[in-house]
Chain A
Amino acid sequence: MTTSNSDLWMFNAILQARAIGYLRTNPDLTVHSTGGILPPYLGDIQTGDSLLYVFPELIGSEDILNALLAGERSRYTVHMINREDQNGKIGYFDLTLVSSAGKQAAQSTEGQEKRRFPLVAIWEDITSAGQVGQKLTQHRNDLTLLRNELAKQYSLLESTNHELRRTNQLKSKFVGVAAHELRSPLTSMLGYMELLQDDSFGPLTDQQQRFAATIDHSAHRLLSLLNNLMDITRLEVDNMDLNLEPTDLVQVIRHSEAEIRIQIDAKKQHLRIETEADRIIVLCDTARVQQIISNLLSNAGKYTPEGGDIRVTLSADPAFGYATVAVQDNGIGIAPDEIEHLFVSFFRASNASQLNATGAGLGLSIAASLTELHGGTMQVESELGHGSTFSFTLPLLDVQPADSAQALAAQTQPANYLG
């Protein structure tokens, strides 16, 4: 076979295009000659250099080299060799060794010393592919490091969280015990105060009556606070038992409305109750649901100005199996960034003192927790300066539809409901 100038031109064009270079060794593995592309990371290859000096990556592969020299193996490739040039720039190449033995090796006769044939070492620059591979590996390793770090942080947070929960439970237990111990003498004080106000120990002067009424009012506020503290601690330590029974939600609303009536009338507010059924039977602890509704109504009354409107709506959805109570007011509303904190114990909105409203920030927290304990959910919608709507759901048992318009949109009066 002869090689024309055209073939040679094509051969060189291929070497250039693929960034391929080569060297031919002597049988003793020293460099005989070189050709093609020589990337900077390979340095200067001199005739007479050892192949193992030029490519130290082949050290340790002496058995393979011997097989190639003997013609017992035709080729050997080392993929993705990583080299750094003098400027610290990394290049990658594949190195293939080809034995020049061809068929001559097979012609060796037994007993004769094995011939050693020159090798051709061919390198192909794959820096672009190597860089892509490096980036992929880098990203994967970085991600793994990040994942491990996140796992560590998560574990640390879990541990801290566990400790915080434990501390919180201790706090709740302490508050619960303290509230209970404070309530016992308070109950006794309230009893004697009632006797005093009833003139059981002789008539009181007008001034004494006023003072006694103030003491009685304050003691009841204190009792209410202690009761709330006991409830919140019970809820926090999962120590609240419910006495579930079928209950008419309409009746519960009426009782709650009666309880709150004095507060509503004192501020000349308008309370309206709307129900779409005569009876809405839910499975609940009656006293606790009344507590939920009373808390919502009390809040609505506190944060609605004099003459404002409060509307309670009852609805039932038999298809989905729940009843909904919504308490809507046109009061001061809640800032959007505070809504998510509303059901956190002791949280009070920043505008809570606008209407001189007092409170410890426990009512909504208790109401939401009690709702959840019943398997329901509590939601709030509010617009600052325009009012709020708190609604909650309870598991529905039965509905007796309203058979007349009387159930809808009735302006409530205490006498009507209680009578």
Chain B
Amino acid sequence: MLGEFSVGKTSLVRRFVYERFDDAYISTVGVKVSRKTIAVTRNDTLVDLTMMLWDLAGSEEFDQLQASYLRGSAGAILVCDLSRPETLPELLSYVDNLKALGLDIPLALAANKVDLIQDIGAREADVAALAEQINAAYFLTSAKSGDAVEYLFRELGQALLRQTSL
């Protein structure tokens, strides 16, 4: 899970793994790992895929730490906050970090907090453009309502299966 602080990375994981949501913003510090097993299709058969989700602090202090964890990642979910448009272009720096580490892994873009936005039109266009630029599927998610959260993780899971021979 990559993105600026307070975009909702922890909330997305919590919604996906525990089906819970807490309105209060609690900054994540340190290394936080969650796991969830989902059933996905491969060659028309259902297989169990256990996803280990690294929720990394969206803070400059953890850049070095992030680098060490990025090396071991199989895929990444890039998260921005639709109510803070400036968090969208910031995602490019995370993509650059992945490239710098020589990682060519599946990406998914979560444009989060869609529940806070009245008119999504123009902002979705920006999200779509950036998603196309980094070759990622994008989802307008809400950790609060749960909108598109399951799709987000499942899409990444399917992409992981397509990319690897798991």
Q: Which of A78, A82, A144 has the most CB of B within 10 A?
A: A82
Give the size range of B's interface with the partner. 20 to 34
Question: Is B121 in the interface zone, CB < 8 Å from A?
Answer: no
- Contact pick for B57, options A83, A137, A145, CB 8 Å: A137
Contact (Cβ within 8 A) A130 B33: no
Contact (Cβ within 8 A) B28 A82: yes
A79 to B30, CA, bound (A): 7
Contact (Cβ within 8 A) A148 B84: yes
Q: Give residues of chain A (124-166) contacting chain B, Cβ–Cβ below 8 Å.
A: 130, 133-134, 137-138, 140-142, 144-145, 148
In the complex, how many angstroms separate the beta carbon of B157 from the nearest chain A beta carbon?
A: 16
Stretch at the interface among B41-49, B69-77, B104-112, B139-147: B69-77
Contact (Cβ within 8 A) B52 A130: no
Q: Give residues of chain B (115-159) contacting chain A, Cβ–Cβ below 8 Å.
A: none
Given A137-B59, A141-B5: A57 touches B73 (CB 8 Å cut-off) = no
In the complex, how many angstroms separate the beta carbon of B82 from the nearest chain A beta carbon?
A: 15
In the complex, how many angstroms separate the beta carbon of B62 from the nearest chain A beta carbon?
A: 9
Question: Is B86 in the interface zone, CB < 8 Å from A?
Answer: yes
Contact (Cβ within 8 A) A138 B72: no
A56 to B54, CA, bound (A): 10
Contact (Cβ within 8 A) B72 A134: no
Question: Is B31 in the interface zone, CB < 8 Å from A?
Answer: yes
Question: Is A81 in the interface zone, CB < 8 Å from B?
Answer: yes
Q: Give residues of chain B (5-26) contacting chain A, Cβ–Cβ below 8 Å.
A: 5-6, 25-26
**Cβ contacts under 8 Å, B35 to chain A:** 56
Contact (Cβ within 8 A) B72 A61: yes
B51-62 vs A: 1/0 string, CB under 8 Å?
010100101010
- Contact pick for A59, options B72, B84, B86, CB 8 Å: B72
In the complex, how many angstroms separate the beta carbon of A50 from the nearest chain B beta carbon?
A: 12
A80 to B54, CA, bound (A): 14
Question: Is B29 in the interface zone, CB < 8 Å from A?
Answer: yes
Question: Is A92 in the interface zone, CB < 8 Å from B?
Answer: yes
A80 nearest CB neighbor, chain B only: B30
In the complex, how many angstroms separate the beta carbon of B29 from the nearest chain A beta carbon?
A: 5
**Cβ contacts under 8 Å, B61 to chain A:** 137
B60 nearest CB neighbor, chain A only: A140
Contact (Cβ within 8 A) A57 B33: yes
**Cβ contacts under 8 Å, B31 to chain A:** 57, 78-82
**Cβ contacts under 8 Å, B5 to chain A:** 141, 144
**Cβ contacts under 8 Å, A56 to chain B:** 33, 35, 52
- Contact pick for A80, options B6, B26, B29, B59, CB 8 Å: B29
A145 nearest CB neighbor, chain B only: B6
A137 nearest CB neighbor, chain B only: B27
- Contact pick for B86, options A57, A60, A142, A148, CB 8 Å: A148
Contact (Cβ within 8 A) B30 A92: yes
B63-92 vs A: 1/0 string, CB under 8 Å?
000000101110000000000101000000
In the complex, how many angstroms separate the beta carbon of A76 from the nearest chain B beta carbon?
A: 11
Which residues of B approach A to under 8 Å, CB–CB?
Answer: 5-6, 25-33, 35, 52, 54, 57, 59, 61, 69, 71-73, 84, 86
Which residues of A approach B to under 8 Å, CB–CB?
Answer: 56-57, 59-62, 78-84, 92, 130, 133-134, 137-138, 140-142, 144-145, 148
A–B pairs, 19, beta carbons within 8 Å = A56-B35, A60-B73, A62-B72, A78-B31, A81-B30, A82-B28, A82-B29, A82-B30, A83-B32, A130-B30, A133-B29, A134-B29, A138-B25, A141-B5, A141-B27, A141-B59, A142-B25, A148-B84, A148-B86
Q: Which 5 A-B pairs have the closest CB atoms?
A: A60-B72, A80-B30, A82-B32, A82-B30, A138-B27
